[in-house]
Structure 1
Amino acid sequence: MWDLISLLNPGDLMVVNDTRVLQARLRVRRSSGGEAELLLLEPRGEGRWLCLARPARRMRIGDRLMLHAPAQEEISLTVVGEDPASGGRVVAFPSGYDTAATIEDLLRSYGEAPLPPYIHRHDPADTSRYQTRYARRPGAVAAPTAGLHFSDALLAELGQRGVAIASVTLHVGLGTFRPIEQEDLRDLRLHSEWVEVPEAAVASVEACRARGGRVFAIGTTSVRALEGAAAAAGGALRPYQGPVDLVIQPGFRFQVVQGLLTNFHLPRSSLLLLVSALIGRPRLLALYQQAIAEGYRFYSYGDAMLIPPEAVLPPAS
């Protein structure tokens, strides 16, 4: 990754996603005595959360779930609803756990890092390893993994070189791992994720353009945040706060992003589709074949590639 220092120019801008991953995986004991697992997906207000549950078929409305961890008191949760769209359960936390801060405190004591489903392990080191150095705003259930490549030292060196950094927030949801099952992409609908593009980030993009620099998104989530905010404003980047369900696929006209640092993604994923929109499917397949031939690592803890502006497809006429 230290090659990045020579590949980015003074005056360029990196836009990072400062979301912080919640320790959102909880082990619980059902009132019947069986063990189960919850993965918190999104808040539903008043101390209630939508969760993926395993085994879901054995969790019914009204069931009580005991949250336990070594050296911690047990906490009782209640299943209060079902969500047909996700197949999940809505779980109510007890009084006093109705804010983002109190839930994060609870998760620090009882939760585990919500590693992607293809990583079959529980290592306490993942609590910090599966978090970017600039993670600041809690709310994600998956890491913006391109950012995992950056150390404090690398960020400092890039700053000394004159590369600017701006932050946006996109709370990564579990939908990022869901495969695209439909063959006809014209009617593709994607999951919604909460985004904030602050005034400071908009000003940084405008200043970068004014000085002739290049705007690099660090990870596909930063792309989705920037382009989603621009789409909400009719094409011009403006401050934005709210949900984004933007579909970025071949033919998409990028309004903000000029380059991208990204990991190597799962097949049939929306992330792979986004990269294909940027550089074209033939180039994407060639790069992935090269990565396989040279033994690059794929997915969350894998290697990354830098797509400079000169490799990006020109806008379709």
Structure 2
Amino acid sequence: MKLSHFNFDLPDELLAEHPAEHRDEARLMVLNREKQTIEHKLFKDIIDYFDEGDVMIMNDTKVFPARLFGNKEKTGARIEVFLLRELNQDQRLWDVLVDPARKIRIGNKLYFGEDETLVAEVIDNTTSRGRTLRFLYDGSYSDFRTKLTELGETPLPKYIKREVEPEDEERYQTIYAKHEGAVAAPTAGLHFSKHLLKRLEIKGVETADVTLHVGLGTFNPVEVEDLSKHKMDSEEIVISKQAADIVNRGIENKKRVCAVGTTSMRTVESSVSSNGRLNEFEGWTNKFIFPPYEFSIANCMITNFHTPKSTLLMMTSAFGGYDFVKRAYEEAVKEKYKFYSYGDAMLII
């Protein structure tokens, strides 16, 4: 398929600037692939589609406050620094994006915080906006990470034009987040409340926690019409033996095995055995899923509504069926569903 197949008109007012007042009361569109039907529900109604022994695969990555603001030495120019990936713990080396990039050259120093106790030196250019920074900090590594957390703010997506608000620190994080390392939230999981998870547990629905540390590469625009030529950035994933066992038991018992979000789906599809079972794994994935694609692990999927031409929409279309998902998106626009990170959800069964 071509990039142009995934374009559609999305009114700006449907991009969600704020989350739903209560996590599990976002709207939910339910797509039944067999019956080709579309239902309109609330997210908390999702419990009606799951039974004892069914499995939900959840990405337990935790977003860290990756956006910092510093001042350039001498000029004092305000520079946004977006932490992407830690390269070396001992040397305090990080891959980052800087904005405005034209002002930042190798050898420049940036000062962070009112007391300017955290300083970073630019030691390399990686891309037009990318730089490698060495943070100059004399304290212990744990003190250094604490300092980054204090100075950083929640990295809301760029489409959200408002200032970061106090509630974002909690709401742009799943309630089951454990392992810090993501620069963006696995947003399908944002809809789960503690109450809903407890109700699912009482009903006998099992959860399998996997980890994919979401990087900004997930949201990089596709710039080639031929999708086979698009390259995804690599992201770190972990699948424990315990998670693999839970998922494989669900498959063997012919239960509903549901990937909560595109990140969970990419994770499990990156480590499949020859007999269609999930393997434990720790490493990296750059898997790009677009139609046509035969899925091996999950037979059900929860996802948000995605933007035009995005890799996330392409994966959703591969799972739900291109024509069916296209029809669902037309209905979502007509019914004014909210899109993107703080938007509404879709269940595909």
TM-score normalised by structure 2 residue count: 0.83
Higher relative contact order (CA 8 A, sep 6+): 2
1:196 maps to a residue whose letter is V
Aligned residues: 303
Q: Which amino acid aligns with 2:328?
A: L
Q: How does 1:203-282 map to 2 (within 5 A)?
A: 203-230=245-272, 236-282=277-323
- Secondary structure at the aligned position of 2:338 is classed as coil
1:9 aligns with 2:54: no
Amino acid in the other structure paired with 2:120: L
1:174 alignment partner, one of 195, 216, 227: 216
Q: What is the aligned counterpart of 1:65 among 110, 116, 136? A: 110
- Counterpart of 2:85 (choices 38, 42, 45) is 42
Select 2:123's aligned residue among 69, 80, 83: 80
Task: Indicate whether 1:153 and 2:198 are aligned.
Answer: no
How far does residue 16 in structure 1 lie from its aligned partner after superposition? 0.3
Equivalence for 1:197: 239
- Partner residue, 2:7: none
Q: What secondary structure, in the 3-state scheme, does the structure 2 residue paired with 1:52 have?
A: strand
Q: Report the residue type matching 1:75 in the other structure.
A: L
Match of 1:304 in 2: 345
- Partner secondary structure for residue 249 of structure 1: coil
Aligned letter for 1:281? Y
Instruction: Report the Cα offset of residue 57 of structure 1.
Output: 1.0
- Unaligned runs of 5+ residues in structure 1 are 309-317
Determine which of 143, 165, 182 is the counterpart of 2:185. Answer: 143
Matched, 1:52 2:74: no
Q: Residues 215-245 of structure 1, C-alpha deviation per residue, up to 9 Å, x if partnerless?
A: 10000000000001227x7954211111100
2:151 to 101, 110, 127: 110
**1:286-308 Cα distance to aligned partner (Å, 9 max, x none):** 00011111111100001001001
Report if the CA contact (8 A) 1:181-1:268 is conserved.
Answer: no
CA shift for structure 1 position 275 = 0.6
> 1:7-34 CA distances to partner (integer Å, 9 max, x unpaired)?
1121110000000001000000100211
Report how far residue 108 of structure 1 moved: 2.1
Matches for 1:278-289 after TM superposition, within 5 Å: 278-289=319-330
**Cα distance, 1:73–1:53 mapped onto 2, change above 3 Å:** closer
Distance 1:234 1:26 in 2: 46
Alpha-carbon spacing, 1:180–1:109, altered in 2? closer, same or farther (3 Å): same
Write out aligned runs for 1:17-32 (5 A): 17-31=59-73, 32=75
SS in 1 for 2:217: helix
Q: Deviations over 1:57-85 (max 9, x none)?
A: 1111111100115xx6631111111103x
CA contact (8 A) 2:119 2:137 kept: no
- How far off is 1:106 after superposition? 2.2
Q: 1:105 to 1:145 in 2, by over 3 A?
A: same
Query: Cα RMSD over matched residues?
Result: 1.7
Q: 2:170 aligns with which of 128, 133, 144?
A: 128
Residue 254 to residue 67, structure 1, CA distance change in 2 (3 Å): same
Per the alignment, in what secondary structure is the counterpart of residue 108 of structure 1?
helix
- SS in structure 2 opposite 1:248? coil
Which residue number in structure 2 is paired with residue 314 of structure 1? none
SS of residue matched to 2:270: helix
Q: Gaps spanning 5+ residues in structure 2: where? A: 1-42
What residue identity is the alignment partner of 2:287?
L
Residues 144-183 of structure 1, C-alpha deviations (whole Å, 9 max, x = no match): 0000001111100010011101100000001122221110
Cα distance change on mapping 1:282 and 1:23 into 2, 3 Å:
same
Q: Note if contact 1:11-1:212 (Cα within 8 Å) is conserved in structure 2.
A: no
Query: In 2, are the aligned partners of 1:48 and 1:98 still within 8 Å (CA)?
Result: no
How many percent of aligned residue pairs carry the same amino acid? 42
